[in-house]
Structure 1
Amino acid sequence: MKIFVDRVKCQNHGQCAISAPNNFELDAEGVLQYRETFDGDDIGDVEDAVDSCPLQAIQLTS
C-alpha cells in the first residue's frame, strides 16, 4: 500500500505526524513531508494518521 496526501486539502495541521512519526513530519517551514511507501509494521500508525486528519486529506492506495 501507498500513502497519498491531497495537497489541496492538507493544511499542515500535523495530526498525522503525531500519529505516525515514522511516516509523516512537518519540515522547518511547517510543511508536511511524508513517505509514499511504508513498511507493513507501520500499518496501524498510518491508519491512525488517516483517521486523525481533520480534513481527510490522506488516503491509502494500492
Structure 2
Amino acid sequence: MPAVVNREECVSCGTCVEECPEEAIKLDDEEIAVVDPEKCTECGTCVEACPSEAIHIE
C-alpha cells in the first residue's frame, strides 16, 4: 500500500513534496498532500519528514 495522508493532520507545509525521492506527492487545490499510488515506492521518507506526523504507510 502506498503512503496515506491524514487530511485533518496535514499542515500544508510541503516538506513531503520536497523530500519524496519519487516525486509521488503533490499539494492539491486545498494545499493538502496527496500521494500518487502509481509512483509511491513505500520508502517512508515522507513519513519521517512530516512534521505533523500526518503520513503513514499501511
TM-score, length-scaled by structure 1: 0.69
Shift, 1:38, TM fit: 4.4
Residues 1-62 of structure 1 mapped to structure 2, 5 A cutoff: 1-20=1-20, 22-27=23-28, 30-35=31-36, 37-39=37-39, 42-44=41-43, 47-61=44-58
| Long gaps (5+) in structure 2 | none
- Whose Rg is larger? 1
Tell me the C-alpha RMSD between the 2 structures: 2.3
How far residue 30 of structure 1 moved from its aligned partner, in angstroms, is 3.3
1:34 CA displacement: 2.0
Tell me the matched-pair count.
57
Residue type matched to 1:23 in 2? Answer: A
State the TM-score, normalized to the length of structure 2: 0.72
- Stretches (4+) displaced over 6 A: none
> What does the per-residue CA deviation read over 1:7-49, in whole Å, with 9 as the maximum and x for residues that have no partner?
01001111100111521112466342321x2457x443xx111
